Amino acid sequence: MEKDRIIVVTGVTRGLGRALAEVWLRQGHRIWGCGRDRSAIEALRERWPQGRFAVVDVADWEAVETWARDCLEGGEAPDLLVNNAALINATAPLWQVPVAEFHAVIDVNVNGVYHVVKAFLPAMLPRRRGVIVNLSSGWGRSTAPGEAPYCASKWAVEGLTRALAQELPPGMAAVPLNPGIIHTDMLDRCFGPAAAHYPEPASWAEVAAPFILGLGPEHNGQPLTVPGF
């Protein structure tokens, strides 16, 4: 497997993003990661000095644009872009979801994906290689009561990614990826104590990281799921 890939990962400070980044860093790949938690970003910088970590809210276009410009200034471009950052609403009927909470879910889960793709993809296009993986959800292909904002956002990720796949040149790929059901902070909010019965991010990443690295042009536009999850 090709070493020393440049991999962009959003939401790198915890959960699935952090688990993926740490597997890839141990393998010798370079991570350009972002998250909103400053203390967690500083901890990542200290533990993984070979990585490049920044405090960025993907919902903020100007912040994403600045981050991407800083990353790309040396003339390199990502080999893999993983849009992982996401929020979930507190479980409630749609009409009881606060307006600000609905907007926050859409801003991060949908607008954030668009911002990161818009900022980094132009640098990838001239080489006509590279893979964009936008994390979706089982709730991006089905629905659940009380989770309408999150479902809407992940259905949007599915459609956005599959349309993007039709726009890419040969040699590239965009894939909407359902990670499966993993024990994260988000799952705790939805499932309560039952969330602890699901796999932890670190064990998931041992399977997901090589699976994602194995994606290529032949997977372009395919809605995939991490095997076993």
Q: Of residues 24, 32, 114, 150, which has the active-site annotation?
A: 150
Under 8 Å between Cβ of 3 and 50 = no
Question: Is 114 part of the annotated catalytic residue set?
Answer: no
Under 8 Å between Cβ of 64 and 8 = no
Predicted local confidence at residue 68, as pLDDT: 98
Indicate the residue type of 102: F
Give the mean model confidence (pLDDT) for residues 58-78. Answer: 97
Predicted local confidence at residue 3, as pLDDT: 67
Using alpha carbons, select from 115, 161, 158, 166 the residue that is nearest to residue 136. Answer: 158
Could you tell me the domains of the chain? Answer: 6-225 (3.40.50.720)
Mapped onto helix, strand or coil, the DSSP state of residue 141 is: coil
Per residue in 179-220, pLDDT tens? 988 867 776 677 778 767 777 889 999 999 999 999 999 999
CA–CA distance, 177 with 189 (Å, rounded to integer): 21
Per residue in 50-67, pLDDT tens? 999 999 999 999 999 999
CA–CA distance, 6 with 90 (Å, rounded to integer): 35
Per residue in 18-50, pLDDT tens? 999 999 999 999 999 999 999 999 999 999 999
Stated pTM of the model? 0.93
CA–CA distance, 166 with 146 (Å, rounded to integer): 33
How many alpha carbons lie under 13 Å from residue 181 in its C-beta half-sphere?
11
Predicted local confidence at residue 79, as pLDDT: 98
- The torsion angles phi and psi of 216, rounded to 5 degrees, stand at -150, -170
Under 8 Å between Cβ of 67 and 34 = yes
Tokens of 126: 């001239």
User: Which residues, in sequence order, are bridge partners of residue 31?
Assistant: 7
Per residue in 107-163, pLDDT tens? 999 999 999 999 999 999 999 999 999 999 999 999 999 999 999 999 999 999 999
Using alpha carbons, select from 114, 107, 150 the residue that is nearest to residue 132. Answer: 114
Predicted local confidence at residue 135, as pLDDT: 98
Give whole-number Cα distances, 51 to 18, 89, 174, in Å: 12, 31, 24
How many alpha carbons lie under 13 Å from residue 216 in its C-beta half-sphere?
5
Tokens of 127: 């080489």
